[in-house]
């Protein structure tokens, strides 16, 4: 049987021969370096069939390879079967990153083509450093010559958020950013990251599934602000978007067409911009060329955007909203888990995911899920980012473990929660893995650490119980979460990679250790934690965590003998808090069930 993806690789190689390209690199991102691209930019998926959220593809005349991390190894092996594409593993000790792999080919002046819209300046500089003889060719929309009926750039309704939700006006945020700009000695700042633009302007859309973003660029000068956005689809004067544009205009934000960004960047100097700040890790090559190849180009100052850090430290209004979101979400989760327990043996993974979505949709202020729900029974859960199939998904049998990882987007916050629950008798190995993962979760949740500590310095707290039993997991332990923004945000995280960004009060992070056994089961326990001060003394200032998520941990399959006294105390106190907070707002039968589920161990 012919493989459609093998045929597409063959068509790309024909295009390479026509153009004299030796190598093509395609990333899994978009012109804004987004983690989750819109359909138009899912080039790796279209070419290879790999649907994971992180993957880059390299095609030479005689080799095709996909680079991805441990979250997707099992998935990649299955999806690449028959395509002729080889899996290259990242985030493992023996990894060979793409630039070093290309260098190992020892080709004489290889011509390397990249989609300039989806390849960053930083990546290009890394590649040139590894392969100095390479001729790097930027080809915007490289696959359009092959990709028939390629999806258009999305354009969805745009809304604005008031200070009652965000705690801060766009005018205040723009004035703060201009003060930063003056300190850099620059006249302008180009912002390309969609989540940062949405936060800065207090705007939201739905151009990307599960992410309330607007495909756009933003250019700030000391006197003006220009938002480059798709506006051709909103000519109706009474539309929600038109009202948003009027509001932005009243705040001196000029609305420009998305397609005009290149021309604007090529003529900055004649409009009074002599020095401009850009972030190389987020700026695509096409814009870099527009910015620097003009006859009279401005000086470019590489920088790290200050917006990411300020956005990550939530203000009091945002935190109140996040607490409300987790309260409402907790009520949904408890009703869902009650429903699952009573329908084990009758429903499948997809039907369970639909029921959870139905319950969330009833919450006032619900704006969609924050990512695609992972509803995984038994062996399915061994894939950390399992995609639940609409047809043929596994039955939730009345035995073993069921994992559900889900979240909601609300006008007042964003949630992300994973629960692994027993649906009946569990094996000794399932019980032991379940307990060790929960111990890791509790170890991080109980952490106290000096101000200035980075997430990588406390990651081991979640892994130590697993390491002690020679087990581990291949993904990060914690990621930042936005306020009605991306479910993943930086600049902080909790993982083994050496990210030096300290955890600061007001930041929110997930706590989600796991264990995955191919063909058997997967276990992950996840709450969201708020970084908060816990006290000062002669040794300095100390921080800890407040758990925002409100949903009990099932204790029925615990190996209680493995828990320490402190871990039992934390678990009992957390489950009691969940019951005390939620029980009065739950249906009577669910409240009674929750009382039993939260009895002390």
- Distance between CA atoms of 236 and 424, rounded to whole angstroms? 56
Provide the domain limits for residue 240: 159-311
Most distant CA pair in the chain, distance: 74
Question: Which residue among 271, 295, 311 closes a domain?
Answer: 311
pLDDT of 26 over the 60 cut: yes
Strand-pair partners of 88: 67
What pLDDT sits at residue 232? 65
- Within 8 A by CB and 6+ apart from 233, the residues are 155
Which residues in 143-166 are b (16+ Cβ under 10 Å) and which e?
A: beeebeeeeeebbbbbbbbeeebb
To 5 degrees, how large is the angle CA 530–CA 279–CA 196?
Answer: 40
pLDDT of 169 over the 60 cut: yes
Confidence of residue 567 (pLDDT cuts 50, 70, 90): very high
List the CATH number of the domain containing 126: 3.40.350.10
Confidence of residue 2 (pLDDT cuts 50, 70, 90): low
Whether 181 is covered by a domain: the verdict is yes
Considering the domain architecture, whether residues 482 and 426 belong to the same structural domain is answered as: yes
- Burial classification of residue 457, based on how many CB atoms lie within 10 Å of its CB (0-12 exposed, 13-18 middle, 19 or more buried): middle
Closest among 339, 327, 408, 405 to 578, alpha carbons compared: 327
Average pLDDT for residues 421-449, to the nearest whole number?
A: 98
Question: Which residue among 256, 290, 311 closes a domain?
Answer: 311
Cβ pair 481, 414 in contact under 8 A: yes
Q: How many domains does the chain have?
A: 3
Cβ pair 40, 46 in contact under 8 A: no
pLDDT of 328 over the 80 cut: yes
pLDDT of 238 over the 80 cut: no
Considering the domain architecture, whether residues 82 and 123 belong to the same structural domain is answered as: yes
pLDDT of 53 over the 90 cut: no
Whether 580 is covered by a domain: the verdict is yes
- Distance between CA atoms of 154 and 144, rounded to whole angstroms? 16
- Distance between CA atoms of 469 and 472, rounded to whole angstroms? 9
Residue 155 or 579, more confident? 579
3-state class of 522 per DSSP? strand
- Distance between CA atoms of 169 and 4, rounded to whole angstroms? 50
Question: pLDDT per residue over 74-114, tens digit each?
Answer: 889 999 999 999 999 998 889 999 999 999 999 999 999 99
Residue 220 or 92, more confident? 220
- Distance between CA atoms of 320 and 183, rounded to whole angstroms? 32
H helix count then E strand count, the chain: 18, 28
Average pLDDT for residues 410-428, to the nearest whole number?
A: 98
Considering the domain architecture, whether residues 252 and 325 belong to the same structural domain is answered as: no
List the CATH number of the domain containing 530: 3.90.230.10
Considering the domain architecture, whether residues 424 and 566 belong to the same structural domain is answered as: yes
Considering the domain architecture, whether residues 383 and 439 belong to the same structural domain is answered as: yes
Instruction: Look at 80-84, 167-171, 225-229 and tell me which has the smallest mean pLDDT.
Output: 80-84
DSSP-H helix ranges across 268-315: 285-292, 307-312
Average pLDDT for residues 478-482, to the nearest whole number?
A: 98
- Distance between CA atoms of 469 and 479, rounded to whole angstroms? 25
The mean predicted confidence, pLDDT, of the chain is: 95
Confidence of residue 200 (pLDDT cuts 50, 70, 90): very high
Q: HSE, CB side, 13 Å, CA atoms: give it for residue 217.
A: 26
Considering the domain architecture, whether residues 418 and 348 belong to the same structural domain is answered as: yes
Cβ pair 174, 200 in contact under 8 A: yes
Whether 18 is covered by a domain: the verdict is yes
Question: pLDDT per residue over 528-548, tens digit each?
Answer: 999 999 999 999 999 999 999
Whether 271 is covered by a domain: the verdict is yes
Average pLDDT for residues 569-591, to the nearest whole number?
A: 98
Cβ pair 495, 471 in contact under 8 A: no
Whether 153 is covered by a domain: the verdict is no
What pLDDT sits at residue 295? 81
What pLDDT sits at residue 233? 52
Considering the domain architecture, whether residues 298 and 384 belong to the same structural domain is answered as: no
Considering the domain architecture, whether residues 130 and 246 belong to the same structural domain is answered as: no
Considering the domain architecture, whether residues 136 and 186 belong to the same structural domain is answered as: no
Considering the domain architecture, whether residues 69 and 163 belong to the same structural domain is answered as: no
Whether 396 is covered by a domain: the verdict is yes
Percent of the chain with pLDDT over 70: 99
Question: Which residue among 145, 180, 213 closes a domain?
Answer: 145
Question: pLDDT per residue over 132-142, tens digit each?
Answer: 999 999 999 99
Average pLDDT for residues 543-566, to the nearest whole number?
A: 98
Average pLDDT for residues 353-381, to the nearest whole number?
A: 97
Q: What is the dihedral of CA 440, 446, 448, 453, to 10 degrees?
A: 40
Considering the domain architecture, whether residues 455 and 544 belong to the same structural domain is answered as: yes
- Distance between CA atoms of 106 and 542, rounded to whole angstroms? 51
Whether 198 is covered by a domain: the verdict is yes
- Distance between CA atoms of 34 and 201, rounded to whole angstroms? 18
Q: Give the containing element (helix H, strand E) for 410.
A: strand 408-410
Question: 474: which DSSP letter?
Answer: S
Average pLDDT for residues 539-566, to the nearest whole number?
A: 98
What pLDDT sits at residue 234? 57
Whether 154 is covered by a domain: the verdict is no
Give the position of tokens 């899996």: 87
Considering the domain architecture, whether residues 71 and 206 belong to the same structural domain is answered as: no
Average pLDDT for residues 24-46, to the nearest whole number?
A: 95
Q: What values do phi and psi take at 367, rounded to 5?
A: -125, 20
Confidence of residue 296 (pLDDT cuts 50, 70, 90): confident
- Distance between CA atoms of 140 and 41, rounded to whole angstroms? 11
What pLDDT sits at residue 485? 98
What's the N-to-C CA distance of the chain in angstroms? Answer: 56
């Amino acid at each position: 049987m012919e493989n459609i993806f093998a045929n597409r690789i063959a068509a790309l190689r024909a295009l390479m021969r026509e153009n004299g390209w030796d190598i093509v690199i395609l990333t899994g991102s978009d012109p804004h370096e987004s983690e989750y691209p819109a359909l138009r930019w899912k080039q790796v998926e279209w070419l290879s069939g790999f649907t994971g959220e992180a993957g880059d593809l390299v095609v030479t005349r005689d080799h095709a390879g996909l680079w991805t991390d441990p979250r997707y190894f099992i998935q990649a092996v299955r999806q690449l079967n028959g395509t002729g594409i080889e899996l290259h593993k990242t985030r493992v000790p023996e990894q060979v990153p793409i630039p070093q792999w290309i260098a190992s080919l020892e080709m004489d002046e290889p011509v390397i083509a990249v989609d300039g819209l989806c390849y960053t300046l930083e990546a290009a500089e890394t590649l040139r450093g590894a392969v100095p003889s390479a001729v790097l060719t930027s080809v915007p929309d490289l696959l359009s010559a092959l990709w028939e009926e390629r999806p258009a750039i999305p354009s969805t309704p745009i809304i604005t958020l008031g200070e009652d939700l965000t705690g801060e006006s766009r005018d205040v945020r723009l004035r703060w950013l201009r003060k930063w700009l003056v300190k850099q000695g620059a006249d302008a700042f180009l912002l390309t990251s969609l989540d940062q633009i949405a936060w800065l302007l207090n705007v939201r859309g739905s151009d990307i599934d599960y992410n309330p973003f607007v495909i756009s660029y933003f250019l700030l000068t000391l006197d003006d602000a220009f938002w480059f956005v798709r506006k051709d689809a909103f000519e109706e004067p009474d539309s929600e978007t038109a009202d948003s544009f009027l509001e932005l205009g009243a705040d001196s934000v000029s609305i420009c067409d998305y397609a005009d960004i290149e021309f604007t960047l090529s003529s900055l100097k004649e409009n009074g911009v002599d020095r401009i700040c850009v972030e190389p890790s987020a700026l695509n090559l096409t814009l870099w060329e527009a910015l620097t190849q003009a006859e009279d180009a401005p000086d470019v100052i590489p920088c790290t955007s200050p917006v990411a850090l300020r956005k990550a430290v939530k203000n009091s209004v945002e935190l109140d909203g996040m607490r409300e979101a987790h309260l409402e979400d907790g009520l949904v989760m408890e009703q869902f888990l009650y429903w699952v327990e009573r329908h084990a043996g009758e429903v499948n993974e997809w039907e369970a995911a639909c029921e959870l979505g139905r319950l969330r949709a009833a919450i006032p202020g619900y704006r969609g899920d924050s990512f695609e729900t992972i509803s995984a029974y038994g062996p399915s859960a061994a894939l950390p980012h399992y995609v639940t199939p609409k047809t043929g998904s596994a039955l939730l049998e009345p035995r073993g473990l069921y994992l559900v990882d889900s979240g909601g987007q609300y006008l007042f916050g964003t949630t992300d929660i994973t629960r692994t629950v027993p649906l009946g008798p569990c094996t000794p190995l399932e019980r032991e893995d379940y307990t060790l993962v929960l111990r890791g979760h509790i170890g991080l949740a109980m952490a106290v650490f000096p101000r200035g500590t980075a997430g990588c310095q406390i990651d081991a707290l979640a892994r130590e119980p697993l390491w002690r039993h020679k087990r581990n997991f291949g993904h990060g332990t914690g990621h930042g979460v936005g306020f009605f923004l991306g479910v993943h945000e930086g600049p902080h995280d909790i993982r083994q990679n050496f990210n030096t960004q300290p955890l600061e009060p007001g930041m929110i992070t997930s706590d989600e250790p796991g264990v995955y056994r191919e063909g058997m089961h997967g276990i992950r326990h996840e709450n969201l934690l708020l970084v908060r001060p816990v006290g000062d003394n002669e040794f300095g200032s100390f921080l800890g965590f407040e758990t925002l998520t409100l949903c009990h941990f099932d204790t029925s399959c615990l190996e209680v003998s493995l828990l320490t006294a402190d871990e039992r105390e934390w678990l009992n106190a957390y489950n009691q808090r969940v019951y005390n907070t939620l029980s009065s707002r739950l249906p009577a039968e669910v409240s009674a069930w929750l009382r039993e589920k939260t009895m002390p161990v």
